[in-house]
């Protein structure tokens, strides 16, 4: 899984593999968000504010620290 660099005050990178989206935060921690469709991933990565998108996203998808 490759993380793409993102422009965000909270995140360094975002990646996607096997219906799981990975987010690396500024503190270096990586979280895996499960049951993410490719279209959900694309919508997330293309949102104008990744922080706002994440606030909605983590209420929908189960996640855990990697």
Alpha helices in the chain (DSSP H): 38-45, 50-57
**What are the distances in angstroms from CA 46 to CA 2, 42, 49, 50?**
17, 6, 9, 8
| Residue 28 near residue 11, CB atoms below 8 Å | no
| Residue 20 near residue 32, CB atoms below 8 Å | yes
Count of domains for the chain = 1
The domain in which residue 24 lies consists of 4-65
Task: Say what the pLDDT of residue 1 is.
Answer: 80
Look at the pTM and tell me if it is higher than 0.85.
yes
Distance between CA atoms of 49 and 9, rounded to whole angstroms?
A: 10
Percent residues over pLDDT 90 in the chain:
97
pLDDT in tens, 43-65: 999 999 999 999 999 899 999 99
């Amino acid at each position: 899984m490759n993380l793409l660099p993102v422009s965000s005050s909270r995140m360094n990178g975002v990646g996607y593999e096997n219906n799981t989206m990975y987010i690396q935060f500024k503190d270096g921690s990586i979280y895996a968000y499960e049951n993410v469709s490719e279209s959900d991933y694309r919508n997330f990565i293309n949102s104008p504010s990744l922080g706002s998108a994440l606030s909605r996203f983590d209420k929908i998808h189960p996640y855990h620290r990697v």
